[in-house]
Amino acid sequence: MGGAHRVGVVGLGVISGVYLDTLAGHPAVRVTAVADLDAGRAAAVAGRLPGARALPVGQLLSSPQVDTVLNLTTPAAHARIALAAIRAGKHVYGEKPLAAELDDARAVLAAAAQAGVRVGCAPDTVLGTGVQTARAAVEAGSIGRPLSASAVMVTPGHERWHPHPDFYYTAGGGPLLDMGPYYVTSLVHLLGPVRAVIGAAGRLRAERVIGTGPRAGERIPVEVDSHVSGVLEHAGGALTTLTTSFDGVATTAAPIEVHGEEGTLAVPDPNLFDGAVRLHPLGGAGWHTLPASAGYEEGARGLGLLDFLTPGARRAGGELALHVLEIMTALLRSSAEGRRVELTTSARVPAPVPLTGARVWRGRASPSAV
């Protein structure tokens, strides 16, 4: 990279702290600028990052000291910030989803292609040992030919813990567009791209009550579906049943299970980087845990950006993020129109991640050291 790659961060909400914990001090990157609608918050964050400046968004995007914009704004602003960064000649890596609307996401990738810059997008949790070990097991034939899968995400809603949860219930939010990317991206890694979907969705509560912080007790409107279910038809023939909900208290369902002719694989929470991968072979003596065999060990958010900046890697790319977004928006469209929806995009399954020690990906040891 010819020296540390210079990153400017736009959006300094809750998730930014986790990213900055990963990126600050990493030898491959240098955070040179930060921006937020709250200028005081930007100044406070810059004060904790040696060499970083707090700038207005426009100045950060045009700064010659920024190579890549890390876009951590709310979903409704993802496309707008990404397009502005691309017009300024910057690469962009953003939080999921790629955009709140499919057409906006297409516009982002088209603009990037024309400008000759790259687009990357979370989630990067799928690059950790949890999903990658599961993928290695599938590809090694541990369950035989995959036939089907189930994916379940049920919570009471983020207003319980987030002090400003409004955006979870507006365009670009909801359980599917907020949490679905972790599950759908994992399913593409495990079973390949999707060719069609059938969906059903609903919202039975018109408002939510903030449970913590300075706005505790305040009621906020619900403008998106808060429970979404559907079936994904993978191009290889397997079927996935998906449920994402902000309308349940708890569930005993495994986050993801993959069923094959010779066994079933239980995949850990794709919102995390690690976790136990369990295999139940046909005719075997029950479940047993597989040792970690692939993925970045002890992963943390921001890892996807480091991978994105690594020539020959770039697994968290825009093409995959666009396909995942179309899968999700097609489920909502299917629900609204009452019909099966065929997808117009596809994506190459990213290269698998070999088992990589934390000291290596954090830049504290060479690959030969593990």
pLDDT digit string (tens) for 316-333? Answer: 999 999 999 999 999 999
User: What is the predicted pLDDT for the residue at 368?
Assistant: 44
Q: What is the DSSP string of 216-237?
A: TT-EEE--S-SEEEEEEEETTS
Does residue 303 sit in helix, strand or coil? Answer: helix
Does residue 256 sit in helix, strand or coil? Answer: strand
Residues 155-190 as b/e (b if ≥16 CB within 10 A, e otherwise) read bebbbeebeebbbbbbebbbbbbbbbbbbbbbbbbb
Q: How far apart are CA 73 and CA 97, in angstroms?
A: 11
3-state helix, strand, coil in the chain (%, to 5): 35, 25, 40
Does residue 29 sit in helix, strand or coil? Answer: strand
Q: Which residues of the chain have pLDDT under 50?
A: 1-2, 368-370
Q: How far apart are CA 305 and CA 5, in angstroms?
A: 11
Dihedral of the CA atoms 106, 108, 111, 117 (nearest 10)? Answer: -130
- Which pTM does this prediction carry? 0.94
Tokens of 80: 């707008």
Q: How many CB atoms lie under 10 A from the CB of residue 47? A: 11
Q: How many CB atoms lie under 10 A from the CB of residue 221? A: 10
| φ, ψ at 132 (rounded to 5°) | -70, -35
pLDDT digit string (tens) for 69-112? Answer: 999 999 999 999 999 999 999 999 999 999 999 999 999 999 99
Residue indicated by tokens 């998106």: 224
Residues sharing a CB contact under 8 Å with residue 266, sequence separation 6 or more, in sequence order: 254, 256, 257, 276, 277, 278, 279, 280, 287
Q: How far apart are CA 241 and CA 232, in angstroms?
A: 7
Tokens of 269: 């929470």
Tokens of 226: 């808060």
